[in-house]
Amino acid sequence: MDEFEFEDFEFPEEEEIEGEDSEKLKEIYKLAIKLLKLLEDLKSVELKESASLMLIRELIGDDRMLLGLASKMLQDISLGYDKENYVS
């Protein structure tokens, strides 16, 4: 894949979200929906794939538990078990 540059892209300022967990969860949900909409609007399949993988990598970081959960979810999705409950 050709490298692309972020010349016109400005990373947003990091803003600290204060408040209760429910408020933080609402904000996370709003931002996740916005990110998914932006991903859907990408015309290049390669860019969609790379952006999705970068997002997954950013979310998981070094957390082995999240890595296991993401692996399990992807396996379930690929096998058609999309109604699983992953809440512990």
pTM: 0.59
- Poorest-pLDDT segment among 1-5, 46-50, 66-70, 74-78: 1-5
Contact by Cβ (8 Å): 70, 60: yes
Q: Average pLDDT of 60-71?
A: 91
Calpha distance 9→7 (Å, rounded) = 6
Structural domain boundaries in the chain: 21-79
Using pLDDT thresholds of 50, 70 and 90, give the confidence band for residue 10.
low
Burial class (CB in 10 A: 0-12, 13-18, 19+), 48: middle
